[in-house]
Structure 1
Amino acid sequence: MSKSIDVIVIGAGIAGSTCAMQLAGKGHRTLLLDRQEFPRHKTCGEFMSPETKEMLEVLDIHLLDIHLLDQSKKPSTMDHAKIVMRQGGVIEAPLPGFAYGISRYELDQILHQKALEAGAQIVTKATITSIEQLEDASYEVQVKQGDERISYRAKAVIGAHGTKKPRGMASAPDLRDQTVYVGVKSHFSGIEIPARVELYFCEGGYVGISPIEDGIVNVAALLTLDTVQGSGKSVNDILQAASLTNVSLAARLAEGKPVDGTQVSIAPLHLSNVPEPWSQYPHIGDAMLMIPPLCGDGMSIALRSSLLCARWTDKYLQGDIEHADWQSNYTLEASREFTQLLRRARRIQKLAFAKTNKFYPGLARMIPGLAAYVVKATRLSEMNAAR
């Protein structure tokens, strides 16, 4: 079976859903594909920075007006961060505005509904078997869904597939760091947490704890593969093993219990050395840039890249620019937007794991405003560039 479409967005997470919503809203025939079924839990900090809230409002999505599946539930709010070092030292810093906590199980469904209302078609449990760019610059995308095989002809393809590219697609090896990480996440009940996000450093990585909806907290970790090996096979085993290297984290997790069915892991993960805005097609979200999660800005990067890419893709689909201009303009703007942010984030990650990190709480007390400055250094700028 063969079908024609204007644009295919590969990956139905935050970046892909909002990009599809924008392009469908402009009148383009838009197909949003994902190899997984929704709703589902995903490895994510589920922390929405103030910048994320701002960008959702640009898209006319207002968090405080969102109705979740259970309308008695609402996203939580956070106004400061608490960082707990392995040796027990603590740093606290205000966030540059209110942050929100909402599970990806809820958020992805909200964004999918917005995309559908805009006119996008969503197809899940679909595996892309090949992507070929034709002589006229259009794309032929082969998709397998169950026993059915469909060939799509699209003028544009956008990659929002995270770090796992479709079959046959590969990145240059120097674009990603060689250190191999494992990401895990579980919801917990019974952990009382004030309006803050907590970050615990442990051997080989860190564990973040933040409130989401209905009194539940999200516990998400990024750990090096070598420290995870031998910890056990389950997400809960890995989290418990990590907590043995930070007594404050162990005490925190002991307050609650894991919520069944919310455990997810992903591996291997490699952090970005530089953004990758384009390969055979444009990339957005984690496909473009995997930032150190301790910076807490992954969701806003997904949204900002979605906004930038949708704007240039619309120009291309409208016939205002050629394919080469689409590629060069989006690549230039995305690189300008995210390269410095990534460099700052990588420097802060390196400092966080330095042997001298046990002295940081003392420095933060000696230099008022230092912790708040570090928090601000890992945020995106205001939305002027994307409006």
Structure 2
Amino acid sequence: MAIIGGGIAGSALAKSLADSGWNTILLESKKFPRHKVCGEFLSPEAKSMLDSLGVNELIQSLRPSLIERSRLIFSHGDVLEAPLASHALGVSRYSLDAALLSSAQLAGAHVQTGSAVTAVTPANEGFIIETKQGTEMVAYKVRTVIAAWGANGRVPGTAPYPARSNVRTAKNPYVGVKSHVAGITTDAAVELYFFEGGYLGISPVEDGRFNVSALLRQKAFQDKPKTIQGWIDAACSRNPQLLHKLSNAMPIAGTQAAIAPVQISRKPLVWNGYPQVGDAGLMIPPLCGDGMSMALRSALVCAALADRYLSGEISFDHWRHQYERFIEQQLKGPRQWGRLLQWMIEAPVLPRLLVPCVRYTPGLMQRLIKATRLKDVPLDVR
């Protein structure tokens, strides 16, 4: 069994399959640990997945921040706030990814970082995976393979993702930027600041640091300095409360990251000759605030099906059918609500209309948050 990609979904898969006794190799092209563009927000819905994976104590050892509420701050001055169903965790991907990768190794998975996959070829009763490790070319023969290479990853020679479902977004993609900062204070809240051309989130993570991450339309900021701090400064100039919030922020060297393009309306492709988990198969709109939880859920479901396939209980086609059915039943709703909220926030007039609707409709904001989250139901892979 081979897994391509060592992020949250890939490491969760590797640990789960190694725990089940399968000879598992995880191939990751980059070195760990490293910083990634991410909201670094583990929603309350992630707890059951962490329990299933057996890593809750490991995550707590990273000293995550507890987050109890969400706050939306609009450029015209309005603020909306709502408590979370239970506490969420703020933890950096730098720490989280490295911890999950280590847990996979401790479970018995073979982890090969700095290993770029150059080809995946179907072979008799399995696949041949060709990799480049430094100057050496290494090939592996495996029974099956799972893609966990993230939103912008793809092995050369595989079919491209389907055409984008939103022409406007495809022609005007986003850029994602992030940096950790010190020198600011806040309560136990994740804050989202909205402005023309995008939004920026501030979330406490471990060690008294704060993650500052933004999703910005490239065209709306095309005349701004093309540095990570330049993007963040340009975002601050469009929301007075954000400018005040970060006026004393001190960027922490080495924590910056960027990614482009970000296509939040990409059509799902959860099976492309073999299963694709996490962002590799389904791009979750960041406004859902549940992307890491959904990556974990897709990995655990796929691992359970892989275990049954490798044991001879189900066929390859049955695995595909059940995994695609899971994505359709459990992730379609949150994804659609996330896209709807993204559109509403970016429409010129709708944010001003949304605020009074939420204020004068008890529980509306909590219901909107719930609609973008996974349902905490038992995993069913029969």
> What is the SS of the residue equivalent to 1:214?
helix
Which residue pairs with 1:71 in the alignment? none
Distance apart, 1:137 and its partner CA: 4.6
Which of 121, 127, 130 is 2:119 aligned to? 130
Which amino acid in structure 2 is aligned with residue 368 of structure 1?
Answer: P
- CA deviations on 1:94-137 (whole Å, 9 max, x unpaired) are 11110010111111121112101110011111111111112x35
Question: In structure 2, what is the Cα distance between the partners aligned to 1:273 and 1:127?
Answer: 24
> What is the SS of the residue equivalent to 1:254?
coil
On the 8 A contact 1:272/1:289 being kept in 2, the answer is no
Distance apart, 1:295 and its partner CA: 1.4
> What is the SS of the residue equivalent to 1:385?
coil
On the 8 A contact 1:275/1:339 being kept in 2, the answer is no
Question: In structure 1, what is the Cα distance between the partners aligned to 2:309 and 2:60?
Answer: 32
Which residue pairs with 1:331 in the alignment? 324
On the 8 A contact 2:162/2:267 being kept in 1, the answer is no
Which of 366, 383, 386 is 2:377 aligned to? 383
> What is the SS of the residue equivalent to 1:119?
coil
Which residue pairs with 2:136 in the alignment? 148
When residues 261 and 373 of structure 1 are mapped into structure 2, their CA distance, relative to the original with a 3 A threshold, is: same
Question: In structure 2, what is the Cα distance between the partners aligned to 1:323 and 1:238?
Answer: 46
Distance apart, 1:323 and its partner CA: 1.5
> What is the SS of the residue equivalent to 2:156?
coil
Question: In structure 1, what is the Cα distance between the partners aligned to 2:133 and 2:243?
Answer: 44
State TM-score, norm by structure 2. Answer: 0.94
Which residue pairs with 1:45 in the alignment? 39
For structure 1, list consecutive stretches of 5 or more residues without a partner in the other structure: 1-6, 69-73
Which of 7, 22, 25 is 1:28 aligned to? 22
Which residue pairs with 2:109 in the alignment? 120
Which amino acid in structure 2 is aligned with residue 246 of structure 1?
Answer: N
On the 8 A contact 2:73/2:80 being kept in 1, the answer is yes
Question: In structure 1, what is the Cα distance between the partners aligned to 2:326 and 2:366?
Answer: 28
Which amino acid in structure 2 is aligned with residue 251 of structure 1?
Answer: H
On the 8 A contact 1:180/1:269 being kept in 2, the answer is yes
- CA deviations on 1:289-330 (whole Å, 9 max, x unpaired) are 111111111100110000110011111111111212222221
Which residue pairs with 1:76 in the alignment? 65
1:256 aligns to 2:234 (yes or no): no
Identity %: 41
Which of 288, 294, 299 is 1:306 aligned to? 299
Which residue pairs with 1:265 in the alignment? 258
Which residue pairs with 1:97 in the alignment? 86
Question: In structure 2, what is the Cα distance between the partners aligned to 1:278 and 1:199?
Answer: 33
On the 8 A contact 2:39/2:201 being kept in 1, the answer is yes
Which residue pairs with 1:317 in the alignment? 310
On the 8 A contact 1:316/1:323 being kept in 2, the answer is yes
Which deviates more from structure 2 when the two are superposed, residues 22-31 or residues 329-338? 329-338
- CA deviations on 1:223-275 (whole Å, 9 max, x unpaired) are 11212322212111100001111111111111311111100000111114543
Which of 190, 193, 199 is 1:197 aligned to? 190
- Counterparts of 1:208-223 in structure 2 under 5 Å? 208-223=201-216
Which amino acid in structure 2 is aligned with residue 48 of structure 1?
Answer: L
Distance apart, 1:174 and its partner CA: 3.6
> What is the SS of the residue equivalent to 2:362?
coil
Which residue pairs with 2:227 in the alignment? 234
On the 8 A contact 1:53/1:63 being kept in 2, the answer is no
For structure 2, list consecutive stretches of 5 or more residues without a partner in the other structure: none
Which residue pairs with 2:127 in the alignment? 139
Distance apart, 1:334 and its partner CA: 2.0
Which amino acid in structure 1 is aligned with residue 335 of structure 2?
Answer: L
> What is the SS of the residue equivalent to 1:194?
coil
Question: In structure 2, what is the Cα distance between the partners aligned to 1:239 and 1:206?
Answer: 10
Which amino acid in structure 2 is aligned with residue 381 of structure 1?
Answer: K
Distance apart, 1:335 and its partner CA: 2.0
Question: In structure 1, what is the Cα distance between the partners aligned to 2:310 and 2:236?
Answer: 51
1:173 aligns to 2:163 (yes or no): yes
On the 8 A contact 1:139/1:153 being kept in 2, the answer is yes
On the 8 A contact 2:196/2:346 being kept in 1, the answer is no
Distance apart, 1:184 and its partner CA: 0.6
Distance apart, 1:55 and its partner CA: 1.1
**Runs of 4 or more above 6 Å deviation:** none
Question: In structure 2, what is the Cα distance between the partners aligned to 1:259 and 1:303?
Answer: 29
Which deviates more from structure 2 when the two are superposed, residues 321-330 or residues 234-243? 321-330
- CA deviations on 1:150-186 (whole Å, 9 max, x unpaired) are 1111111101001221222221224675241111110
On the 8 A contact 2:175/2:262 being kept in 1, the answer is yes
State TM-score, norm by structure 1. Answer: 0.93
1:162 aligns to 2:150 (yes or no): yes
Question: In structure 2, what is the Cα distance between the partners aligned to 1:173 and 1:137?
Answer: 31
Which deviates more from structure 2 when the two are superposed, residues 270-279 or residues 218-227? 270-279
Which residue pairs with 1:3 in the alignment? none
Which amino acid in structure 2 is aligned with residue 242 of structure 1?
Answer: A
Question: In structure 2, what is the Cα distance between the partners aligned to 1:64 and 1:250?
Answer: 36
> What is the SS of the residue equivalent to 1:44?
coil
Which residue pairs with 1:185 in the alignment? 178
Which residue pairs with 2:345 in the alignment? 352
